Structure 1
Amino acid sequence: MRGTTRLLAATALAVTAAGGLAAPAFGGTAAKAGVLDVAPHTVVPGTHITATTDACGGSGAADGDASAVGAGRFTLAPSSDEGRAIGQFRVPDSAVPGTYEIVAECAKGGRRALGDLIVTLGPAQGAVYPRGSVKTGVGGALGPDPVQTAAGVAALAVAAAGGTWLLHRRARGDGI
């Protein structure tokens, strides 16, 4: 029993190391995934993206899927650049920062091309700056009325003048 377990473990290790148990790439086929070039690679929401691949060979047509970032499906058509498919989509304004996988599936042959898109928040997009007053609980007892504010300033001025007068008398030795 012990020998059988060791034999099975060694066989499994050898098969895994040789890559014999690779998972299928897509839809049960073992097609190798190609590269999908996404330009620009790092974007802010609202940016138009161009995706290109040469994984589809001569036919050049492919169906793109950018639903991971919320853009939905798009079409890659054969371009004048031999064997390349090109398509465009727009990153929605509601996209959140992160890295997203964009996929293109060739019309013929079932090959897939994969590319990454990085969404960030730029200074003009989604930046939130504070506005208004800060509610700290200090001050503001009189409110925004200018008459009340002037009365408060006058009361402080009288208190400061009275304190200065009392300190001056004490310094002269007149007492309080």
Structure 2
Amino acid sequence: MRRTARLLTGTALAVAAAGLVASPAYGAVGDVVADVGAGSLEVYPSSAVPGDQVTVNTAACGDGGSGAGDASAVGAGAFPLAPSAHDGDAIGQFRVPPSAQPGTYEIAAVCAGGGRRVTGDLVVTLTSARTQVHPRGSVKTGVGGALGPDPVQTAAGVAALAVAAAGGTWLLHRRARGDGI
């Protein structure tokens, strides 16, 4: 019987601890920047709306390198890449035209001198990804029980756990005194 009392108390305490630890997780919407190596073109922001200014940079052109960018896929045309003070990157900018349609567009750059071509993707949307959207409502996690948004159910669950813990403690105390169960 001692083993049963310990098992009941342990189970009640584990369930209570799990209920106290459980909490919803919220994420923020932000820009995703890919790993920038020597052969890629970083596009920032990676998601833009028509009218936004976009900056591109690359380390592929070497220290003090320059080149020419091509955003004609999105309708912005050519733009220059100039040397940057940031770790030898070449940098350029263009504006997404108001007539741009939603979709993913390849932005390219060709380095001066070596002719090396690098590309990156720009996602055009009609709504800005930089406005944060906060989740509403509850999340279906499969936990079940009294972890819902209803305070009456939550209070009933906490009360049931407290009764189970008190009962288990009382049984252990009686067993330790030798009163039996």
TM-score by length of 1: 0.50
TM-score by length of 2: 0.48
